[in-house]
Structure 1
Amino acid sequence: MDPAIRKRCAGRDLSLLYGSKFGALLVGLLVLPAFSRILGPDTFGIVAVVLSVQALMLMLDLGVSIIVGRDIAAAPDGDATAIRILQTGTRIIVALYAALLPIALAVGMVSGAWLSITDVVASMLMFAALTAQNVGQSALLARRHFGTASALQFFGAILRAVITLAALHLITPSLSVFLWTQAGCAIVHWFVTYVRSFRLIGVDVLPNASAARSKVTVAHFLRQGRSLMLFGLAGAAVMNLDKVILAGLASPAAVTPYFLAMSLCMAPVTAFAGPVVQFFQPRIVRSIATANPSDAAVTLRQFVNVISVVTLFPTAALWLFREPITSAWLGDTGVAAPVATYVGVLLPGLACGALGYVPYCILVARKDYTFQASMSAALTIVTLIAAAAVVGAGSVIALCVVYAVYHTVSTLVSWMRCFRLFDGGELRFVRAAAARSAFIFSGFALVTAALALWI
């Protein structure tokens, strides 16, 4: 393909991935406040907990979405293995939630505090459908069907929100209506995603499927999934238990400015880095899996350049103008000043952590799941112990330092692991990517510090 055409196609694909994020952003900015007004503070508080559990369950999928994305990206074109990977991964998710449903019902009957039995069923159906849909989304991204994946994600998020709003207005503004409408929309979204991904991925392989007996089994997923499950648990714990520790050892009121600061700091990473990772990860996996050092070197260089630009520019701007930004965002609520202070401490570490996506993609390409799980678990334990210690001593600023250090150390340790995994020509492209990341980050840090002194 002509290089100019390739660049236009890459720009189009990346734009599509950013467009898919717009749906979730629109829901967060416009629809969630509407849900809050319709349902009232008490009911919406329960909804917020359910949605938080939903985000957690997407991470605790036994590593299926990561394995599906990685293995389909590495599978040759026209190989029947790709469609078998998708089928097996989907079956595992369905079996997982079928096994979890009795446990959730038992917990619901024992606690009986917030959700009725039917509400628990609706929540579990919603969790299962969204988790399975995420598997289909990973398959589409792995085969670089960015237009289809983006459209499904954008319209899925928007339609689920709009239909739920309509149901709350037309039926009754209750928790049950919210949960069952969300569950129904999620199931339809999953079904459409699965059918579309099956057709797009299987179109070239189904005629030959009977000739190629795939070795993709449930055991294959579970062997790799054990490590990825630990990885997901550790990640979920370290990113959520800090608020629990702060509320328990300090006070619930102390959580508010810290939570807002962390949310603001994560915005550049979640909004801008995610689509870049989705775009480049399949290419990195394919080039490393096929032992193509020259292609890997080019892809990693492009990846580092793009993810640095889309995350470090907004991060630097947010750090420089954190006080007026927090004041404009929060208004006269009394928490803008501490939020700005916490942002100033947290943001440099989270910016370094954003560049940690580069070694992460390299390690995923090499299926180095066991190390990632062990590293994540060890860092999580150390970080949470340190968090409890500094919060017990009465310092939220020190808690921010702990988390800034966590993100920085996680990135550095991941790079060190990459150096140990590769040798020869492969080690050269790993070192080049690491050096480029360090050079760009250091340059941004120095320029930002100079601007801060000048301003």
Structure 2
Amino acid sequence: MSRSRSSHGFAILADFVSLFAGRVGGILVTLFFIPQYNRLLGADAFGAIAVVLSLQAFFLMSDLGLATLISRDTAVARDNPAALAAVAWTRRRAEVILAVLALGVLAVAISLPLAGAPVPWSLTAGVNAGLIAILMVLLVGTNIVQLSLNALGLYRAGAGISVAGALARGAATVIVLRSMPSFSALLQVQVAMATVHFVLARWVLERGCAASTDGERLLNLPEMMRLMRRCTPLVLYTLGGAAAVNLDKSIVSAFISLKIAGTYFLATTYALVPVGILSGPINSYFAPRVAHARHAGDSVREYRLALTFQLVLMCIVVGPSLSLAFQMSDWLMLWLHDAAQVNRIMIIAPILLAGGALSATGYYPTTYLIAAEDNGYLARLSIVAAIGVLIATPFFAAHHDLVGVAWSYCAFYAAGFVGLWLRLASRIGWGAMARFLAIAYLMPMLVITLAYLSLHAVAAAFAVPAPLALLGPMAVASAVGMLACAAVFLRERNRPGWAAQKEIP
């Protein structure tokens, strides 16, 4: 029995590490290649690439709600072969919907210049627009597949495919740009490599599902319409958040310049991506489990997952966020090797980092509300916050005020954070919420912050060498936080679920 438990524990740890390595590895590969794109294409051309990359992130978030819906359904159905087969057909129909959208954009983008219509782009620009649409759909499809692999528990396969795909796409792009440094060449190689990535990931998922391909029609219009109706609240939720988070680069490029948009893109990448790659895998690991526990009615397990989720999230996010804030100059020079660009980025990056760190520590309320199918509230919150930031951003951009743009986004993240926790409190009870925030949010944040600031001061006083000075305080503070969080978890793990806690005085 002890051997079985040990083996099971090792498997859980291996799955978690695989998921984390896959997400972090894939995005770190992207971070490695971004400065090379900047050097190979120049500041102005890189501004156009920055806009494309921000659109890529926009469509990955705003995917008609398909990734969220299908991964949730997969998590719920993972122990039921018949239900899993139904989810597989839903995913295949979603792929058809995405393909139709991409082909429609491609047809319009190419046909208008060919027809001689008075449009402000040439055939080359039309082809590029079509390639961008195809690239976005391929990336969205791959993201749906990757989340479905995670929902099935196939973390190691998903991680390997994710890292290999990102590495192959980035390396191939750099090789092509060295001989043909153009925007069109970048799009072509990106589309080719993204196609290979999608086909491979989809093949692995189909084998993992072992779902039947017989007995149903793929082009089933009533089922497709039913899928779109289910997605409607999630479309509004993801569309609002995606527009707010990713259209800022396009707005900056329109009101200021592509060159400034490139600088702003680097600032947001520094401030948001490192924290995102730390919190994202945690969410991907726990979200299916929370949905499954809630669907099964296991309230004790649901609370235990909530506690673990939030405590791990704090340990993973707070220490690195403090390091990125207090040692910003060193990190940026290590990444970009350009003092002038670093100085420009440091004006706005701290503001964005504060908002991003706040958002990254608030994943659990979103996970709970999606598991509870409270999609209407998520849609309303997303739309209101998005409208606010999309009004403020053009105003500040029109006045060439990047600091104002950054504060707009910090306020956007803060509003989403507060709105999500308030909604969670209204569902589980204010007393339960206050207790949960005290033990799973404030306590680890205070412990990690005090440990980091103390170690950072010691490193500065004794002139500790750069690598150790950057990594040491962050790593030790996070480890201290993990010990404190472990003590909290052991004390709190057997409390009843949220519904029962509402009645506890």
* Aligned 1:410-449 pairs, distance under 5 A: 410-422=416-428, 433-440=436-443, 442-443=445-446, 447=450
- Matched with 2:413 is 407
Residue 89 of structure 2 is aligned to residue 84 of structure 1: yes
* Aligned 1:43-82 pairs, distance under 5 A: 46-82=48-84
In structure 2, do the counterparts of structure 1 residues 399 and 291 end up closer, same or farther at CA, with 3 Å as the change threshold? same
Q: Is the 8 A contact 1:296 1:429 kept in 2?
A: no
Q: Deviations over 1:239-290 (max 9, x none)?
A: 2344455566677776566544332221332221111111111111111122
Q: Deviations over 1:320-351 (max 9, x none)?
A: 22344345555564354454353443333322
Residue 148 of structure 2 is aligned to residue 139 of structure 1: yes
What's the CA shift for 1:58?
Answer: 2.2
What's the CA shift for 1:235?
Answer: 1.6
* Aligned 1:28-427 pairs, distance under 5 A: 28-35=30-37, 46-82=48-84, 83-106=88-111, 110-113=119-122, 115-166=124-175, 175-202=183-210, 206=212, 217-243=223-249, 258-326=264-332, 329=335, 333-337=339-343, 339-388=345-394, 396-422=402-428
Question: How many Å separate the matches in 2 of 1:409 and 1:307?
Answer: 20
- Matched with 2:19 is 17
In structure 2, do the counterparts of structure 1 residues 142 and 163 end up closer, same or farther at CA, with 3 Å as the change threshold? same
Range with bigger deviation, 4-13 or 64-73: 4-13
Question: How many Å separate the matches in 2 of 1:100 and 1:207?
Answer: 29
| AA matched with 2:303 | A
Q: Is the 8 A contact 1:319 1:344 kept in 2?
A: yes
What's the CA shift for 1:445?
Answer: 8.0
What's the CA shift for 1:61?
Answer: 1.9
Range with bigger deviation, 342-351 or 134-143: 342-351
Q: Is the 8 A contact 1:71 1:85 kept in 2?
A: no
What's the CA shift for 1:120?
Answer: 4.0
Please give the secondary structure, in 2, of the residue aligned with 1:112. Answer: coil
- Matched with 2:469 is none
Task: State TM-score, norm by structure 2.
Answer: 0.76
Range with bigger deviation, 367-376 or 51-60: 51-60
What's the CA shift for 1:226?
Answer: 1.9
Question: How many Å separate the matches in 2 of 1:360 and 1:370?
Answer: 12
Q: Which runs of 5+ in 2 are unaligned?
A: 461-505
Question: How many Å separate the matches in 1 of 2:223 and 2:388?
Answer: 36
In structure 2, do the counterparts of structure 1 residues 208 and 437 end up closer, same or farther at CA, with 3 Å as the change threshold? farther
In structure 2, do the counterparts of structure 1 residues 85 and 422 end up closer, same or farther at CA, with 3 Å as the change threshold? farther
In structure 2, do the counterparts of structure 1 residues 406 and 445 end up closer, same or farther at CA, with 3 Å as the change threshold? farther
Question: How many Å separate the matches in 1 of 2:160 and 2:195?
Answer: 17
Question: How many Å separate the matches in 2 of 1:244 and 1:161?
Answer: 23
In structure 2, do the counterparts of structure 1 residues 70 and 429 end up closer, same or farther at CA, with 3 Å as the change threshold? farther
What's the CA shift for 1:190?
Answer: 1.6
- Matched with 2:474 is none
Question: How many Å separate the matches in 1 of 2:178 and 2:350?
Answer: 42
Range with bigger deviation, 306-315 or 389-398: 389-398
Task: State TM-score, norm by structure 1.
Answer: 0.83
What's the CA shift for 1:207?
Answer: 11
Question: How many Å separate the matches in 2 of 1:342 and 1:287?
Answer: 41
* CA RMSD, Structure 1 to Structure 2 (Å): 3.7
Question: How many Å separate the matches in 2 of 1:116 and 1:276?
Answer: 40
What's the CA shift for 1:67?
Answer: 0.7
Q: Deviations over 1:1-24 (max 9, x none)?
A: 855444322321122123223543
Question: How many Å separate the matches in 1 of 2:257 and 2:176?
Answer: 37
What's the CA shift for 1:156?
Answer: 1.4
In structure 2, do the counterparts of structure 1 residues 147 and 321 end up closer, same or farther at CA, with 3 Å as the change threshold? same
Q: Is the 8 A contact 1:136 1:197 kept in 2?
A: yes
Q: Is the 8 A contact 1:352 1:407 kept in 2?
A: yes
Of all paired residues, the percent bearing the same amino acid is 24
Question: How many Å separate the matches in 2 of 1:33 and 1:254?
Answer: 15
| AA matched with 2:106 | L
Question: How many Å separate the matches in 1 of 2:316 and 2:132?
Answer: 35
Question: How many Å separate the matches in 2 of 1:207 and 1:178?
Answer: 36
What's the CA shift for 1:357?
Answer: 0.8
In the alignment of these two chains, the number of paired residues is 446
Question: How many Å separate the matches in 1 of 2:440 and 2:137?
Answer: 38
What's the CA shift for 1:84?
Answer: 2.6
In structure 2, do the counterparts of structure 1 residues 438 and 408 end up closer, same or farther at CA, with 3 Å as the change threshold? farther
What's the CA shift for 1:291?
Answer: 1.7
What's the CA shift for 1:370?
Answer: 1.8
Please give the secondary structure, in 2, of the residue aligned with 1:193. Answer: helix
